[in-house]
Structure 1
Amino acid sequence: MDFAFDARTEELRARLLAFMDAYVYPAEAVAEEQRAELSSPWDTPAVVEELKAEARRQGLWNLFLPDSTYGAGLTNLQYAPLAEITGRSPQLAPTALNCAAPDTGNMEVLAQFGDDAQKKQWLEPLLAGEIRSAFAMTEPDVASSDATNITTLIERDGDDYVISGRKWYISGAMNPDCRIFIVMGKTDPDGADIRRQQSMVLVPRDTPGVTVKRAMRVFGYEDHYHGGHAEVVFDRVRVPVSNLIGEEGGGFAIAQARLGPGRIHHCMRLIGMAERAIELMCRRAVAREAFGKALAQQGVVHNWIADARVAVEQLRLLVLKTAWMMDTVGNRGAHTEIQAIKIATPRTVVDIIDRAIQLHGAGGVSQDFPLAELYAGARTLMIADGPDEVHQRSLARRELKRYV
C-alpha cells in the first residue's frame, strides 16, 4: 500500500502550513482583541476578512468542494490532510479558506441538487465568500437524531410553500452575513414511506415570519466565528415553490448526501485539533516543573503523550482509508467506515484534549489557551451529525446482517 500523498496534495500542504504559520496563528490573539471592540458579538473581526482575502490570493479557497466547476476539484483523499491542518485553528482557518460548516455542506447541496437559478442566486455568492448560510434541521421538541421525527411543516399553497415550525442549534444563523437558510420539513407528513415525507426549501433570512429568537450556547461558548447557533421560528413563512431543492420527498436523501462529507470533514479537522493539543501538552511538559523535576520527566505524562500519539496515528489511517473509499466506491460503499470514524474520532480526541487540559492545570480551562474551546467543540461532535449511539446502532446492524 502506498501511503504517500500525491504531488498536488504535498504542494497544497506546504502552502497551507506556511499560511497557517504566517497568518492564521498570529491572527488568533488579534481576532480576540478586535472582537472585544465590536458593536455586536456576531460581527466579524476585520482580521478574519484579511485572512480570507489572503487565502483567496494564494489559491487556498474552496478546497473542500470536489466539483471542479465550483471548487478546487480535490478528492476526499487529497482534501483530508488539508482539513486536518485547518483543524489546528478551528475558529479561524476553515473560515479563512471558505471551508467552514455549515456553508460547506450547503454549497455541496446547491452544487449537487440546486437548479441553475438557485446556483446563480445563492451558490455563487457563497463560493465567493460574500454571504453566509445556515442549515435548519434540528428541532427542540423531538429527538432529531431520528430525522424522520421532525415536525416542521412545508405546505403547498398555490405557487408557494408555507413553512411553520421551530428549529434550534441552527449553525450560522446569528451571523449578520447569513442570507439564506436551507430548511428541512415535511411536505407529506402522512406519507407511507417515512423517508419520503421530508423536503428541503430555500428560505431567505429576511422573509416575513422568520424570527431568530436567541443564540444557543455550547458549553457556555457562543461560537462567534461559526456565526453562532440559533433558535429560529418559522411562522407561516411563505416562499415560492421554485425554492424547493430537488424534488418533493427528496429531503431525507439530500440530508444523507450532505452529512456524509460533513462527517468526514469534521473528523479530519478533529485530528488537527488533537495534534494542536499534543503540541501544547509537550510544550507545557518541558517548560513546567513540579515536585523537583520537569513535568516531561513524570511517568504519567509519558503515558499521556505516548497514548495520544498512538491514538492519533490510528485515527488518521482510518480517516484516510474512509476518504479513499468515498472516492473509489462512493459514500454508500464507505458507509461502515464513515460511521466508524464518526464514532471513534470525537471520543478519542476529547480524551486527548482532556489530558492536555489536565497537564495545563488551571491554565487548561482558561481563555489563555485554546484547549477548553477545543474540548467543547470536540465533545459537541459526539452529538452533531448524528449522536454516537445512532451510528453504533446502524453499524452493529450492518455487521450482524452477515450472520443472520
Structure 2
Amino acid sequence: MDFAFDARTEELRARLLAFMDEYVYPAEAVAHEQRAGLDSPWENVPVVEELKAEARRQGLWNLFLPDSEHGAGLTNLQYAPLAEIMGRSPQIAPTVTNCAAPDTGNMEVLAQFGDEAQKKQWLQPLLAGEIRSAFAMTEPEVASSDATNITTHIERDGDEYVVTGRKWYISGAMHPDCNIFIVMGKTDPDGADIRRQQSMVLVPRDTPGVTVKRAMQVFGYEDHYHGGHAEVVFDHARVPVSNLIGEEGGGFAIAQARLGPGRIHHCMRLIGMAERAIELMCRRAVSRDAFGKSLARQGVVQNWIADARVAVEQLRLLVLKTAWMMDTVGNRGAHTEIQAIKIATPRTVVGVLDRAIQLYGAGGVSQDFPLAELYAGARTLMIADGPDEVHQRSLARRELKKYL
C-alpha cells in the first residue's frame, strides 16, 4: 500500500481545505443564527443553499460516488482524506458538497441496482441536489440490527405493491425536499431462506398512506442539516410494481452492499471530527490558566492531547488500509477490515471528544462550541449501521473459524 496521496487527491484536498476555511467554518455560526429565525426548523437555511451552489461551481460535488458516469469517479482511497476534511464540520460540509448520508447511500443503491427509469426519475435529481431522500429500514418493535427481523410488509396486489409498517430513526425524512423513501420490507415473510424474504421498493413521500409522524431526537439534537431522524408510518401505501429495486428477495443483499461504503464513509468523517476536537483542545489549553499555570502545562492535559494524537493516527491508518482493500479486493474481501473500523473508530473518537469536552468544562456541553453536538453524532455511530456488539460477534466468528 502506497501511503502517498496521488496528484488528483492532493489537488482536491487543497481545494477542499480552502473551501472549508473560506466558506464552511464561517458559515457555522451564520447557519445557527439563520435557523433560529426560520418559521420551521426544517426549512432550508439560506447560507447552506448558497454554499451548495459554490461547492458545485468549484467542482466539489458528489465526490463520494466512485461511478465516474454519475460521480467524481474517485476510489475509496482517494475519497478518504476528503471525507475526513468534511468531517471537521459534519453538519455543513457533507451537506453542501452533496456528500451527506443518507442520500449518498441511496444514490449508490440507485446507481448500482436501479433500472433506467428509476435512475432518471430519482437518481438524477439526487445527483443534482434538487431533492433529498431517506432510507427506511430500522423499526422500533424489533431488533433491526438483525435485518431478517424486519416486519414491514410489502405485498403484491396486481400491478402494485402495498407497503404496511412502522419505521423510526429514518434519517432525512423531515427535510422538506425529501421526496423519496427507499423502504425495506418483506415480500416473502414465510420464505425458507430468511435472507431472501426482504425486498426494497421506492415509495414517494406524497404517496397516500405515508405519514411522517415526528422527529426523533439524538441526545436532544434533531440533526436539522441532514433532514432529521423521523418516525414514519406506511399504512397500506400503494406503489407501482416498477418501483421495486432489483428483484424480489434481493433486499438483504442490497442493504449489505449499501452499508459497506456507508460504514467507511462514517469512519472517514469521524477522523475529521477527532481532528477538530484535538485542534479545539490545543487552542483551549494554550489560552486558559488554572491553578497558576496554563492548561497546556498541566500534565493530565498533555496526556490527553498526546493520547488523542496517537489514537487518531492509528485509526487513520486502519481506515486507509480498509479503503485500499475495498478498492483492490472488493467490499466482501475487506469485510473484516470494514467491521474493524466500524468497531474501533466511533468508540475511540467518542473518547477523544469526551476529553475535549472535559477540557472546556461547562462550555464543552454548551451550544457555544461544537463539541457536544459532535459527541452526540459520534456516540450514535456506535449503534447506527449495526451496533458494535454485532460487528464484534461477526468478527470473532471469522477469527475463530480459522481454528475450528
CA deviation after TM superposition for structure 1 residue 268, in Å:
0.0
Quote the residue 2:213 is aligned against. 213
Quote the residue 2:76 is aligned against. 76
Q: Deviations over 1:294-344 (max 9, x none)?
A: 000000001000000000000000000000000000000000000000000
Which SS does the other structure have where 1:66 is aligned?
Answer: coil
C-alpha distance in 2 between matches for 1:195 and 1:21:
46
Quote the residue 1:134 is aligned against. 134
Q: Deviations over 1:73-124 (max 9, x none)?
A: 0000000000000000000000010000000000000000000000000000
Which SS does the other structure have where 2:195 is aligned?
Answer: helix
C-alpha distance in 1 between matches for 2:338 and 2:349:
16
CA deviation after TM superposition for structure 1 residue 355, in Å:
0.1
CA deviation after TM superposition for structure 1 residue 185, in Å:
0.1
C-alpha distance in 1 between matches for 2:170 and 2:115:
24
How much is the aligned-residue C-alpha RMSD, in angstroms? 0.4
- The 5 A counterparts of 1:265-284 are 265-284=265-284
C-alpha distance in 1 between matches for 2:329 and 2:39:
49
C-alpha distance in 1 between matches for 2:98 and 2:73:
15
CA deviation after TM superposition for structure 1 residue 137, in Å:
0.1
> Any unmatched runs of 5+ in structure 1?
none
Q: Deviations over 1:198-224 (max 9, x none)?
A: 000000000000000110000110110
- The 5 A counterparts of 1:4-403 are 4-403=4-403
Which SS does the other structure have where 1:235 is aligned?
Answer: strand
Which SS does the other structure have where 1:54 is aligned?
Answer: helix
Give TM-score, length-normalised by structure 2.
1.00
CA deviation after TM superposition for structure 1 residue 2, in Å:
2.6
Which SS does the other structure have where 1:258 is aligned?
Answer: helix
Q: Deviations over 1:167-225 (max 9, x none)?
A: 00000000000000000000000000000000000000000000001100001101101
Q: Deviations over 1:109-150 (max 9, x none)?
A: 000000000000000000000000000000000000100000
C-alpha distance in 1 between matches for 2:277 and 2:2:
28
C-alpha distance in 2 between matches for 1:203 and 1:305:
48
C-alpha distance in 2 between matches for 1:119 and 1:383:
31
C-alpha distance in 2 between matches for 1:129 and 1:321:
31
C-alpha distance in 2 between matches for 1:131 and 1:226:
12
CA deviation after TM superposition for structure 1 residue 403, in Å:
0.1
C-alpha distance in 1 between matches for 2:166 and 2:66:
33
Q: Deviations over 1:372-395 (max 9, x none)?
A: 000000000000000000000000
CA deviation after TM superposition for structure 1 residue 281, in Å:
0.3
CA deviation after TM superposition for structure 1 residue 258, in Å:
0.2
Which SS does the other structure have where 1:195 is aligned?
Answer: coil
Which SS does the other structure have where 1:133 is aligned?
Answer: strand
C-alpha distance in 1 between matches for 2:209 and 2:283:
52
Q: Deviations over 1:232-273 (max 9, x none)?
A: 000000000000000000000000000000000000000000
How many residues were matched structurally?
A: 404
C-alpha distance in 2 between matches for 1:301 and 1:27:
30
C-alpha distance in 1 between matches for 2:14 and 2:382:
31
C-alpha distance in 1 between matches for 2:96 and 2:211:
28
In percent, how many aligned pairs have the same letter?
91
C-alpha distance in 1 between matches for 2:220 and 2:32:
17
C-alpha distance in 2 between matches for 1:51 and 1:320:
29
> Any unmatched runs of 5+ in structure 2?
none
CA deviation after TM superposition for structure 1 residue 44, in Å:
1.4
CA deviation after TM superposition for structure 1 residue 155, in Å:
0.2
C-alpha distance in 2 between matches for 1:302 and 1:214:
44
CA deviation after TM superposition for structure 1 residue 229, in Å:
0.4
Which SS does the other structure have where 2:239 is aligned?
Answer: strand
C-alpha distance in 2 between matches for 1:44 and 1:368:
22
CA deviation after TM superposition for structure 1 residue 354, in Å:
0.2
Q: Deviations over 1:16-38 (max 9, x none)?
A: 00000000000000000100111
Give TM-score, length-normalised by structure 1.
1.00
Which SS does the other structure have where 2:230 is aligned?
Answer: strand
C-alpha distance in 2 between matches for 1:237 and 1:220:
31
